[in-house]
Amino acid sequence: MKQAGGTQDLFGGPPQAPTREDLAADALLLRSFVMADAPLQEAIQAVLARSPWRQMTTMRGYTMSVAMSNCGTAGWISDRRGYRYSTTDPLTGQDWPALPPVLQDLAARAAAAAGYARFTPDACLLNRYLPGTAMGLHQDRNERDLSQPIVSVSLGIAATFLFGGAQRSDPTRRVELAHGDVVVWGGASRLHFHGIAKLKAARHPFAGEARINLTFRRAL
Ligand code: SIN
Ligand code: FE2
């Protein structure tokens, strides 16, 4: 509990308890769901040691502002041929790093909390946002089985998540996502448009001036 002017304001107080918030039909925000940072930091560093951050190109030849990597059997890629999943990392020519158990476990727990008892992701996209970067409204529709949800984990500095409807022109809800928040969407909102507004400069102990988003999906 926040006490204005009290010691909790000076010292930060205890970690926040997780809370749940409905964003739309079958779309759930689990705030402060991530409990321990160090195992996630280690797992992410191990992935990046093999498949480092890179800025991909769109079909039209633009360089994406958000840097990406992947782990798992399948990785999401974009290049002049379009968007798709690939079982090899085009940068290294090797398989993507395996999905670290700590990430698999986090995704499964979040999906279960949202009512998906047996979510076994085979793809984890890592997105790195620096201040000034953004992700335009899009649908996640390259996955084979659309009955499987999307689990999206926010780490580091905060961002404004835009969550719209089935049509690009539908109104979007603006939701502030902080470190440790997880959004799970599927079912009626599985193909809803979503994006990230341009990030404001900030610092967070998890990743300095960056926001790292992990998006888990069943792709193949
Ligand atoms: C995405 O839709 O791929 C990323 C969403 C996010 O960064 O929260
Ligand atoms: Fe997405």
Q: Residue 56: left if φ>0, alpha if ψ -120 to 50, beta else—which one?
A: beta
Structure tokens at 12: 């930060």
Q: Mind listing the pLDDT tens digit of every residue in the chain (220 residues)?
A: 444 433 444 555 556 778 999 999 999 999 999 999 999 999 999 999 999 999 999 999 999 999 999 999 999 999 999 999 999 999 999 999 999 999 999 999 999 999 999 999 999 999 999 999 999 999 999 999 999 999 999 999 999 999 999 999 999 999 999 999 999 999 999 999 999 999 999 999 999 999 999 999 999 9
**Can you tell me which atom of ligand 1 is nearest the CA of 194?**
2
Spacing of C-alpha 115 from chain mean position: 19
Kindly give the distance from the C-alpha atom of residue 155 to the centroid of ligand 2, in angstroms, as a whole number: 16
Model confidence pTM above 0.85: yes
| Residue-range domain boundaries for the chain | 19-203+213-217
Kindly give the distance from the C-alpha atom of residue 149 to the centroid of ligand 2, in angstroms, as a whole number: 12
196 to 26, 65, 187: CA distances (angstroms)? 20, 12, 21
User: What's the CATH architecture for 19-203+213-217?
Assistant: Sandwich (2.60)
